[in-house]
Amino acid sequence: MTDAGPNLTPLIIVTLTLVSFIVAGLRARARSASDYGIGGRYIGRIGGGAAIASNWMSAASLLGMGGLLYLQGYYALAYVIGWTGGYVLLLVLMAGQIRRFGKYTAPDFMGDRYASPSAGLISAGISIIISIIYCTAQFKGIGMLFGWLFGTSYRNGVILGSVVVVGYVIISGVLGVARNQQLQYTVLIVSFILPLMALAYKLGYFWPLPQFGYGVAIQDLKQEFGINFTAPFASGSLFQWISLCFTLMVGTAGLPHVLSRFYVVPNIRDARWSLVWGLFFIALIYWSAPAYAVFARLLEARSGMPLPPAAAGKMADIIVIKTAVMGGLPPWMVGVLAAGAVSAAFFTVAGLLINGAASFSHDIYYRFINPRASESTKMALSKGAVVALAAIVMVIALDPPGLIAEITAVAFALAGNTIFPAFLLGIWWGRANRQGVISGMLAGVVITFSTPLFGHFLPFVAVIFPLTSSAFFGAPAVIAIMVVVSLLTPPPPEEMRRFLAERVHGHMD
Amino acid sequence: MGHDRDWYDVNIFRPRKGYMTGEVVIILFVLLGWAAANFGVQAILFLLAESPNGEGILTRLTFLSFPWHFWFTAQFLPLWFIILCILFNIYIDRHTEQHSRRKDRSHD
């Protein structure tokens, strides 16, 4: 491990990977401009699934999850379950209905369904806050990786990484690089699983399917070193596990950038089946992450240098990379792994910054401040917003408030407490109205941040609404508020109720 | 249209006759499978715990060399979610076809 100097081979591989995405994007654009319709070229159900998975994969999936599993063992499986089980909710409760409703973004849906520009404005604000929190987690991953690649401090890594990622976003925007999500997913999955196979092979475990062959390593860890990686409630209680898991699930079903994925395929049936493929591709990564954590523990124990908890916590977020280094993998393979993690973080940041900026220029500025703004003004504002958002995120990331997956979980809690209930009732209860959704979303924001806001003088708040797990009680509370306020105020417009009944539910009867 | 107000009141707990009733039944079954496997097994793990950190019979059993509970949560549950999604799609596709006036998939 050469923390003192730059890791040249991995650095070159990461650079080449990022450049190749821009080149591949430009070539694809030049070759088949006519193949791209609304929302991108139609690529079939499997391709659609790869797009869903690539859109989903972030630093939290490739780095953060491994880190938390390494620190907390079984307890961190709540992340694996939360981030896969949420897709079941999304599929059965929302996917088809949102598509029939025909609105692409959360602010558009709110504004239309509840006939309320204010509801649209609030959800645009919430979407931007979600983007900022989510990006902070990505920037932490980028900062740690850049610090390691260049052999410099985390702080320098964040600053350097921010400059590069904003440059990447601007280049992609200016050149109009098409996002080739199947290529992206292929790079992510190969770069994550290939080094894992090599590690399993080197350590002498079943390597052809390493994600299903590390059970013996768990036994070895216990028998040789007395480390029990799998004790169910060693790092948290049953309530903490379930509330975290539930929060991540409803958050998954309420994340704005996930909700808008159902428009790249031509019909509802394909959208539903793409989601199944997407979940399978996501699971491939999530079946693998625990193996990295187990191998990390084992390699540490075998080297006789288990880290003290404070040091382990500091490096947990790049434990996946450190495991590859500890396991003695060749530098090029460590580089491939790093390239996958950097790519995941970059794609996510690019998507979120662009969406966040569009939300600001379109949903807030154009609709509320200056409806007569020209396209060029909106464009300039959008670019400015990318830089401003990135600057805010960078400042927060310099002193990160937690581990990557934990920071990400707060974004999920916010989505689960606000957008999920608003969509759920918006689709499944015709009586939900403007007043209900506005009070519900505002209450959801307060609930999400109630622990840092009131936790120190109202201790029970911190128990009921933990920052990363607040939606277990929060989402039902918001739903109850929405129901009560809606019933106390006049019903929504009749046309909308008729539209819901005829178009969204059972239009073919 | 000649429908009274109740006709267009959408409520998941009072699904309208026809397509929506069947749809809600399928959804409820999937959600039941989702919740039972997910939260139910964690609760059983808790009830069978013999020590504060939760060790018990299910953590001593092994499957594919994994402690059973770890295999179930880390490996089987994501697979179970995929299976649930496949089942949901199969049933909802069939249900949609049954309720479609035309059988040419124009309802998609």
> Contact at 8 Å (CB) between A196 and B16?
no
> Helices (DSSP H) in A418-470: which residue ranges?
419-428, 434-448, 450-454, 459-464
Confidence of residue B4 (pLDDT cuts 50, 70, 90): low
Q: Which of B8, B71, B91 to probe the A interface (max A CBs under 10 A)?
A: B8
Q: How far is it, in rounded angstroms, from Cα B18 to Cα A506?
A: 8
pLDDT at A1: 42
Per the CB < 8 Å rule, is A429 touching B10? yes
Query: Where is pLDDT greater, at A219 or A32?
Result: A219
**CA–CA gap between residue B99 and residue A442 (Å, rounded):** 40
Q: Do B73 and A238 touch (CB under 8 A)?
A: no
Q: Do A77 and B74 touch (CB under 8 A)?
A: yes
Q: In B, which residues are within 8 Å of A241 by CB distance? A: 42
Q: So what's the ipTM on this one?
A: 0.92
Contact state of B86 with A276 under an 8 Å Cβ cutoff: yes
Contact map slice: B 54-93 vs A, CB within 8 A? 54-55, 59, 62, 64-67, 69-71, 73-75, 77-79, 81-82, 84-86, 88-89, 92-93
Q: Which of B71, B77, B84 sits opposite A81 (nearest CB)?
A: B77
CA distance A333 to chain B (A): 26
Residues of B in contact with A97 (CB under 8 A): none
DSSP state of A203: H
Cross-chain Cβ contact A269/B93 below 8 Å: yes
CB atoms within 10 A of CB A263: 15
Q: Which single residue is written with the structure tokens 């994340």?
A: A255
pLDDT at B2 over 50: no
> Nearest Cα to A263, choosing from A101, A416, A92, A114?
A101
Whether pTM > 0.80 for this model: the answer is yes
The span from the CA of A466 to the CA of A406, in Å, is 11
Neighbour-count burial for A318-346, b at 16+ CB within 10 Å, e otherwise: bbbbbbbbbbebebebbbbbbbbbbbbbb
Cβ–Cβ below 8 Å for B69 and A84: no
Question: Cβ A84–B78 below 8 Å, yes or no?
Answer: yes
pLDDT tens per residue across span A372-399: 888 888 888 888 999 999 999 999 999 9
Judged against a pLDDT cut of 60, whether residue A483 lies above it is answered with yes
pLDDT digits (tens, 9 = 90+) for A281-323: 999 999 999 999 999 999 998 888 777 778 888 888 999 999 9
Mutation target for B interface from A42, A88, A245, A286: give the one with most B CBs within 10 A. A88
Identify the helix (H) or strand (E) that includes residue B62.
strand B62-63
* Nearest by CB: A509 against B8, B55, B99: B99
pLDDT category, A161, cuts 50, 70, 90?
A: very high
Q: pLDDT > 70: what percent of chain A?
A: 94
All residues at 6 or more sequence positions from B102 whose CB lies less than 8 Å from its CB, including other chains: none
* Yes or no, beta carbons of B71 and A215 under 8 Å apart: yes
Cross-chain residue pair A276–B7, CB shorter than 8 Å = no
Chain B's closest residue to A429, CA to CA, is B11
Reference B87, options B15, B16, B27; nearest CA is: B27
More confident residue, A270 or A157: A157
Q: Are B58 and B42 in contact (CB under 8 A)?
A: no
Q: What is the pLDDT of residues A444-467, one digit of tens each?
A: 999 999 999 998 888 899 999 999
